[in-house]
Amino acid sequence: MKAVLSLALLITTAQAADWPTFRGPDRTDISGEKGLLKEWPSAGPKKVWTNEDAGLGYSGYAIVGGVLYTMGARDAVEYLIAIDTATGKEKWSAEAGALLTNGWGDGPRSTPTVDGDKVYAMSGKGTLGCYSVADGKQIWSASMTELGGKVPGWGYCESPLVEGTLVIATPGGAKGTLAAFDKTTGKLAWQTADWTDGAQYSSVIAVNHNGARQLIQLTMQSIAGVDAKDGKVLWKTEFPGKTAVIPTPIFKDGQVFVAAGYGVGCKAIKIGSNNSVETVYETTDMVNHHGGVVLVGDHLYGYNDKGGWTCMEFKTGKVVWTEKKLGKGAIHCADGMLYLLEEKTGTVVLIEASPKGWSEKGRFTLNPQTTQRSPKGMIWTHPVVSGGKLFLRDQELLFSFDVGGATPAP
């Protein structure tokens, strides 16, 4: 019986380590792992390996079953790339689309999504592809521009969302903001003809609310909830963005929080029992560009362009603390700790996820750093902890650091 219990605990631990899409299985950017280091050595955690050929771009990582999936540009082609998480060695690569060129750096921005024996990836120019996890063979593809979309200025950046038998993406445009495809065949299932905002850079989340599975997405004009089964718009409210709208929406207890950069700030709305929308607060206390915001317990954490690293109450928008001991960057949460990555220098900081204040438990600077990054570009790929390892990326350089591993079974 004890052996069976131990095996069950090991299986549970292994499942918790998987990170199948951008911001994790529930898109909260909170890892379910336990037993990670609560404090780092003075030089930072031990580096396990470096892969020097991940390609150019800002794609993040999906990590399932000991394989990391990311995207990168090599020469004039964007690739979906599979890497062994134990060794850092490439398993396979597959062409994903023509090269997106951009003054802030060429290449893909989207994070792949793994579902069973398939992986889905979005190229910078808007080709959504379905591939075999075994060898990278393409099974089907769909073009966002053929669905009426226009490639945004910084390219298509969202991570595809697998929802039941469907894959959800945001082509944008007159034919419909959101589109759903049969995840096996690629056949178009629906497109939101009653919502036609152009695509921005946020990724869709799926929640259970008011008896329906709702897909929530953010554009330059609005926040909306769509019925996953047929694409019908259930509710919509204004959100006037500027230049670019990027962070992923956050949902809890019927409340939706969104943020944007360029001076816009954040907004929280309450979705009533009849899908009515009520604004809870609008402030510039979380002007978050693209580093992301996480909700841990009842508090939001992220970088505010106006005031530095910020902790604020989710329900009220009240600021609890701010700190400027680290510059602007991305955030990730695992085992009660926040992993912060400064975009300009590649400095990585570990702090407690606590409303009591900034409690730092270690820092180090990513080394080496790329020489191929555009002068306008920075270290923008978000950190992820999976399988006891911290994964970081600077263009073609991909790193794995040992941050303690999962709690062993008794």
Contacts of 273 (CB under 8 A, 6+ apart): 210
User: What are the DSSP calls for 312-351, one per residue?
Assistant: EETTT--EEEEE-SS-SEEEEEETTEEEEEETTT-EEEEE
pLDDT in tens, the chain (410 residues): 444 333 333 333 334 469 999 999 999 999 999 999 999 999 999 999 999 999 999 999 999 999 999 999 999 999 999 999 999 999 999 999 999 999 999 999 999 999 999 999 999 999 999 999 999 999 999 999 999 999 999 999 999 999 999 999 999 999 999 999 999 999 999 999 999 999 999 999 999 999 999 999 999 999 999 999 999 999 999 999 999 999 999 999 999 999 999 999 999 999 999 999 999 999 999 999 999 999 999 999 999 999 999 999 999 999 999 999 999 999 999 999 999 999 999 999 999 999 999 999 999 999 999 999 999 999 999 999 999 999 999 999 999 999 985 443 33
- Report CA dihedral (275, 278, 281, 282) to the nearest 10 degrees: 90
How far are the Cα atoms of 42, 204, 220, 258, 346 from residue 201, in angstroms, in the given order? 37, 10, 9, 13, 23
Predicted TM-score (pTM) of the model is 0.94
Delimit the domains of the chain by residue range.
1-54+329-410
Give residue 317's region: left, alpha or beta (phi > 0; psi -120 to 50).
Answer: left
